[in-house]
Amino acid sequence: MSKILVTGGLGYIGSHVVVELQKNGFEVIIIDDLSNSSKQTLNGIYKITGIKPIFKKIDLKNKLLVEEFFKNHSDIDGVIHFAASKAVGESLIDPIKYYNNNLNSLINLLLELKKLKSPKLIFSSSCAVYGQAVNLPIKENFNSTNLRSPYAKTKKISEQIIKDLSKSNKSLNSIVLRYFNAIGAHKSGYIGENPIGKPQNLVPIITRTAIGVYDKLKIFGSDYSTPDGTAVRDYIHVVDLAKAHLKAIIHLIGKKNTKNYDVFNVGTGKGTSVLEIIELFEKISNKKLDFTFSERRDGDVESAYADSTKANKILGWRSEISLDDALISALKWERNNSV
C-alpha cells in the first residue's frame, strides 16, 4: 500500500482527492492549517470511504514543523500539494500574503522532498497561469507574459521552482496539473465546496442564492467579446478533477513517465458562459435566480477552456460527468450543508 501525503487535504479539491485515493487502496496522510477548511470534512471523508485518514494541523510556512513531520513520516511515497491561498481578488488586495504563503510553503515542502530516496510530487496549478490565451482551447505550450493577478504569478513561479529542482535533482518526479474551474460535489452530499467567508466562485454563490442565503447574485461583466457578453470558463466536476490526480500519482508510482517533470491541462474542453451556467441551473433546479450585472472584476480573463488531449493520451484520463450532474450535486451539497 503506497502512502500519499495530501497537503490542503481538507479543502474542496483536496478532500475529493483523498476520497479517490482511499477508494483505490492508498494510505493517506493529510496536512492542513484549517485557514480555509474545516476539520469536520474528516467526517465526510469517513462516511464515504469508511476510513478516517491521519490528519496533522500544520502550517507549511513553519519550516521546523515541516522538518519534524518528515522525520516521523520518511516512508511517504508521494505528495499531492494543494495547500495554498487561491482567491484571485484577495491576491490583488493582499499580494504579500499570497507570495508568502504559496511560495514559502512549497519551498519548505521541496526541501524535505529532496531528502527522500525517490520523491514524487503532483502540484496543484491553475489555468490562471495562461492569463488571457490568444488561441482557444488552450494548450500546455502557451506561455503568457500577461498574468492578471498575484495568485496567478505565484502558481507560475511555483511551477518554475519545481521545474528547476526537477532538472537539478533527477530523482524527483513531478507532474503539474493546470486545471480549470472545479464545480460540484461528491454524489453522497458529504463533501463539497465550503469556503470560509463569502465564496468567490460562481457556483457556490448560485447555490446559496437558490436556497436563500443571498437575495441575488452579481455577474461581473456583461460586455466581454463573447456570445452573450459574460465571461466563459471550462467548468469541470470536482470528482473528475480528483480522478486526474489519482491517474497522475499512479503514473509516477508505476514509473510510466518518460521525463521527470511534465505539465497537463485538466478540463472538459468546452467553454460555458456565466449566463449559460445560470440558465442551466434554473432549468435543473426549477428555481428562478435574481441577478444583476456589475463591472468587470479585476484579475478576471474573458475566456478560458482547455485542450486536455495530452492528459487523455498520456495519463489515460478524461472528464466524464456532465455539467447538469455537477450543478445538481452542488445544490444537494449546499442543502445538506445548510441544515
Task: Tell me which residues are annotated as active site.
Answer: 151
Tell me the CA end-to-end span of the chain in Å, nearest whole number: 37
Residue 33: strand, helix, or coil: coil
Count CA atoms closer than 13 A to 259's CA, side-chain side.
Answer: 9
Q: Is the CB of residue 184 less than 8 Å from the CB of residue 325?
A: yes
Q: What number of residues does the chain have? A: 339
Determine the Cα–Cα distance for residues 145 and 270; give it in Å rounded to an integer. Answer: 24
The alpha carbon torsion through 248, 249, 253, 258 (nearest 10 deg) reads 30
Task: State how far Cα 204 lies from the chain centre.
Answer: 15
Q: How many angstroms separate the Cα of 26 from the Cα of each of 69, 111, 112, 192?
A: 19, 24, 21, 21
Is the previous residue joined to 53 through a cis bond, with omega within 30 degrees of 0?
A: no
* Grid coordinates belonging to 118: 525517490
What is the enclosing helix (H) or strand (E) of 164? helix 150-168
Q: Report which residue type is found at 53.
A: P
Residue 5: strand, helix, or coil: strand
**Beta-carbon count within 10 A of 254 CB:** 8
